[in-house]
Amino acid sequence: MNDIVTLLSNPTEPTATGAWFEALAERLLRRTRLMIGARPHRLLEIEFYYHGAGHEDPFAHCDPLQQSTARWYFHRDEGSYRGGSFKGLDISFGPEGEFGGILIRTIEAVGGAMVNGCSLSVDHALAVTGYESVAALDAAIDGRSVWDASSPLSLVPDEGLEPRGRIWATGRVGLTLKRMARHPTMPEFLMKPYRFLTEPTIKKGKAHTIIAMHQAGLDVEAIRAATRSPRKTIQGYQEAYAEGEAGGELTRYRGKGFKTRDLCVAHGIWSRVYGA
């Protein structure tokens, strides 16, 4: 317990943010249970957002509530809980006073089905705990630590979890350069491999997963077997990635969203400019 509690609060090394995220992801995905009510779950996909000294991620929410470590943070806009498909739940992390959120993207009930998506994961938590709204669930949690077993939601270190496959690190899902005019450092953080998953068949964000496998040297057949994606789709992503590796700048996407092919080209550009 002390190991992950300490790790959640402090980087392994002040300048090694990526290694810190990797270490946390390994413990959360392989050695931690998520309790929703009395039902055990496991985390299958998470993303890291951290805005602290020397790592000013412009994609981090930077809500004041994220400045206290090891707390549950339901996504808000100007103090109000997000609703509909915009709901989300973070585990706050990092040194006190800095902004950190580990976004829960996919979970799985022990012996149950996979729940894929930030909003759907929150909906599942509401259904299991019996609360009618995010506000009601958050009020019941009442600011308790993520380790507090008396809370409707809690994390439990568990070295006996069934082993799963490799942990893949990929770019985060849904990021764009639409707000680059206000946040000029966005390109640097756009494709950082801060999304971690143990289930490569997850549909949302699969282009990121395929690109990560391509970068790791897997061939088309290996990627197809792992992701269950068509060969033609994989080859198309690889070709778009190669186009970005060959030339171009991320500023071409300033103020725009990404179609899937553009996303793969942007991955190639980012790899060339900032390193895979």
Domain ranges of the chain: 2-157, 168-274
* 100 within 8 A of 50, measured Cβ to Cβ: yes
CA dist., res. 253 & res. 176, Å (int): 8
The confidence score (pLDDT) of residue 258 equals: 96
pTM value is 0.96
Instruction: Average the pLDDT over 4-30 and give the result.
Output: 86
pLDDT tens-place string over residues 141-166: 999 999 999 999 999 999 888 888 89
pLDDT tens-place string over residues 32-90: 999 999 999 999 999 999 999 889 999 999 999 898 999 999 999 888 999 999 999 99
* 45 within 8 A of 120, measured Cβ to Cβ: no
